[in-house]
Amino acid sequence: MIGWLVHNVWWLTAGSIILSVSGLFVGLMVVLRLPADYFLHDTRQPVLASSRHPLLRILLLVLKNIAGVLMLILGIIMAVPMIPGPGLIFMLMAVSLLDIPGKYAAERYLIHRPFVLHSINTLRTRWNRPPLAAPKKTA
């Protein structure tokens, strides 16, 4: 095993850098594309437009969830010690793709953290996007 790692260290390093940069790029795009009032609504609006053909909506929903599962598996593999890569970033992006109960509540919980909201709004301001409106805390 050690011999294989030594022999392929350059490929592993390049793959890790590519995955890290692509993960950061996708994360940045998601943060910048969120509408400023995303967290002000109590319920989530469907991402897939209802004006599309029902078969196309179902196909896109299935493909989105398959991509989420694959990203989650990849993130878990990268989170193992001694495996390079942004495992946590991939797992968070995977959960955002998956249609699981409680996902929106978890997003609202995270955005209530002052550091998270401030960091996201700093990025959005730097890219000339309006800041995210802070949601009201529910009891």
Domain total for the chain?
1
- Asked if residue 92 is part of any domain, the answer here is yes
Residue 103 has pLDDT above 80, yes or no: yes
- Asked if residue 134 is part of any domain, the answer here is no
Residue 131 has pLDDT above 90, yes or no: yes
- Asked if residue 132 is part of any domain, the answer here is no
- Asked if residue 42 is part of any domain, the answer here is yes
- Output the pTM of the full model: 0.64
pLDDT one-digit tens code per residue, 84-98: 667 777 777 788 788
Kindly report the three-state secondary structure assignment for every residue of 40-109.
CCCCCCCCCCCCCCHHHHHHHHHHHHHHHHHHHHHHHHHHCCCCCCCHHHHHHHHHHHCCCCCHHHHHHH
Greater confidence (1 vs 116) lies with 116
Residue 45 has pLDDT above 70, yes or no: no
- What's residue 130's pLDDT? 94
Mean pLDDT score of the chain: 80
- Asked if residue 94 is part of any domain, the answer here is yes
Domain carrying residue 71:
2-126
Instruction: Determine the Cα–Cα distance for residues 66 and 19; give it in Å rounded to an integer.
Output: 19
- What's residue 49's pLDDT? 56
- Asked if residue 99 is part of any domain, the answer here is yes
- Asked if residue 139 is part of any domain, the answer here is no
- Asked if residue 138 is part of any domain, the answer here is no
